[in-house]
């Protein structure tokens, strides 16, 4: 068989002839050179692809696999595609429909506003814990009263060598000061004492007015603070916004006490949270007392809120007096019971102290309070000083506002409690023995 050689022109590889010559007449006859083009041996020889021939089986399998994967992916993509019209969209909120009969008038929804302070107090009253009446006054029934008028034993006036009575100045001599590590420290009841108008030579009988149960009703507290100073204002330690109220009262020239809740004899009375109870040990009493005394700053001491049972409890009151002595504070006994142990223990432990002489508003009316104020004046003239306790009733505040304008012409002097206690200590120091 005659062999035929094919050559490939680099200039025009399409014009191929068996002789290798270029013939323009056959340039368009493609079928004549196709066998040569697809002859694998010629291609491998021309392009030096002999080595690829050895790997053509793996290459063919790899290409086939790649094409299969791509094709399968395209098919799966076409099958899994969801038409735009059928795609899931977020469902709108379901409309709640209510069938309404024809002619029916549907009321508008009622939006309840948050309760006001007055409403909160009324709810507290319904629950049995409050110091507020429906009109905003502290109710008389929530406060314990002892005897209306209490007079201490007459304090004799010490005479000089010439036999003349000695006049005792209100603040002529300071009580003994505390010492800590050899340094003299002014106790808190003197550091926080309200300023005293007048001079030390003013020897008129002294009267201190203590207004209890403050802080709960902020409006009544503000009215009390607006009265002519110096009054002594006793704030309940569980009242709201207490630091601001107490600071405002002190700035106005009044003196401050913490009105510490204590256990009453009658369980019908609720002294309030964190009250000192007779069933507590000394550790628990100190813990609750510390909580009460941390409610605000700038006070000179404490007096008891209720407490007819606790103040008669010797061990409990001894724990209280030790803490007051440690803190340099004074004690005012409200005398809600004649069996109180507070005064005796205060004397024993060296705590500055005084006792309530007259309850001014155990009957709430302007005329009744005026009558009690007259009793208070009588006690002050008899023993040189007197302490009246009252509450922020409207009638009480009205009577006090009128009464304070009469003191100068009646020869009396209104002072804060700390000044009265200093006078009391000076008179007691003049007693024999």
pLDDT averaged per 10 residues, the chain (length 433): 45 49 50 48 53 63 79 73 53 49 58 58 49 42 65 51 39 42 78 83 91 95 96 96 96 98 92 96 98 97 97 98 98 95 96 96 92 96 95 95 95 97 84 62
Phi first, then psi, for residue 303 (nearest 5°) are -135, 165
Helix (H), strand (E) at residue 331: strand 330-333
pTM (two decimals):
0.64
Phi first, then psi, for residue 262 (nearest 5°) are -135, 160
Rounded Cα distance between 274 and 12, Å, is 112
Which tokens is 126 given? 């319904």
Residues 143/212, Cβ–Cβ less than 8 Å: yes
Rounded Cα distance between 34 and 28, Å, is 12
3-state secondary structure of 349: helix
Name the burial class of residue 309, with classes exposed (0-12), middle (13-18) and buried (19+) by CB atoms within 10 angstroms of its CB.
buried
| pLDDT score at 147 | 66
Cis peptide before 239 (omega within 30 of 0): no
| CATH classification (class only), 131-429 | alpha beta
| pLDDT score at 14 | 46
3-state secondary structure of 358: strand
Phi first, then psi, for residue 173 (nearest 5°) are -130, 130
| pLDDT score at 175 | 42
Task: Please list the residues that pair with 206 across neighbouring strands.
Answer: 385, 413
Which tokens is 283 given? 């550790």
Helices 342-349 and 314-327: angle between axes, nearest 10 degrees = 40
- In this structure, the number of other CB atoms found within 10 A of the CB of residue 416 comes to 25
Half-sphere exposure of 64 (CA within 13 A, CB side): 6
| pLDDT score at 69 | 78
Place of tokens 């700390």: 418
Phi first, then psi, for residue 249 (nearest 5°) are -65, -40
Report how far apart the first and last C-alpha atoms of the chain are (Å, whole number): 161
Residues 310/262, Cβ–Cβ less than 8 Å: yes
3-state secondary structure of 317: helix
DSSP structure string for 169-194: PSSSSPPPPEEETTEEE--HHHHTPP
């Amino acid at each position: 068989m005659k062999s035929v050689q094919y050559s490939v022109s680099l200039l025009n590889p399409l014009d191929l002839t068996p002789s290798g010559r270029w013939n323009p007449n056959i340039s368009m006859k493609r079928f004549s050179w196709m066998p040569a083009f697809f002859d694998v041996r010629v291609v491998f020889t021309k392009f030096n692809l002999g080595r690829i021939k050895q790997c053509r089986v793996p290459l063919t399998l790899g290409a086939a696999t790649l094409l299969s994967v791509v094709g399968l992916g395209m098919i799966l993509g076409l099958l899994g595609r969801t038409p735009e019209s059928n795609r899931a969209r977020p469902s709108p909120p379901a409309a709640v429909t209510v069938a309404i009969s024809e002619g029916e008038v549907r009321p508008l929804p009622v939006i309840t506003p948050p309760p006001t302070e007055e409403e909160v107090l009324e709810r507290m009253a319904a629950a049995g814990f409050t110091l507020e009446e429906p009109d905003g006054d502290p109710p008389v029934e929530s406060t314990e009263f002892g005897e209306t008028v209490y007079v201490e034993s007459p304090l004799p006036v010490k005479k000089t060598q010439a036999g003349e009575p000695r006049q005792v100045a209100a603040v002529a001599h300071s009580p003994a000061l505390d010492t800590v590590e050899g340094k003299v420290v002014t106790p808190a009841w003197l550091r926080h004492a309200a300023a005293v108008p007048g001079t030390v030579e003013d020897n008129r009988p002294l009267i201190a007015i203590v207004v209890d149960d403050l802080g709960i009703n902020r409006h009544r507290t503000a009215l009390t603070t607006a009265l002519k100073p110096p009054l002594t204002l006793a704030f309940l330690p569980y009242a709201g916004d207490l630091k601001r109220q107490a600071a405002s009262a002190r700035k106005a020239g009044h003196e401050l006490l913490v009105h510490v809740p204590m256990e009453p004899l009658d369980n019908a009375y609720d002294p309030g949270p964190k009250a000192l109870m007779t069933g507590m040990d000394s550790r628990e009493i100190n813990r609750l007392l510390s909580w009460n005394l941390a409610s605000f700053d700038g006070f000179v001491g404490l007096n008891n809120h209720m407490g007819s049972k606790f103040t008669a409890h010797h061990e409990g009151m001894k724990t209280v007096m030790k803490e007051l002595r440690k803190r340099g504070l004074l004690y005012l006994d409200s005398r809600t019971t004649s069996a109180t142990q507070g005064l005796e223990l205060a004397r024993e432990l060296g705590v500055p102290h005084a006792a309530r002489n007259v309850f001014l508003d155990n009957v709430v009316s302007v005329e009744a309070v005026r009558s009690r104020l007259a009793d208070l004046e009588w006690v002050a003239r008899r023993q040189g000083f007197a302490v009246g306790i009252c509450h922020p009733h409207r009638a009480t505040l009205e009577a006090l506002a009128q009464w304070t304008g009469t003191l100068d012409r009646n020869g009396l002097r209104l002072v804060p409690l700390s000044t009265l206690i200093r006078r009391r200590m000076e008179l007691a120091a003049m007693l024999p023995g």
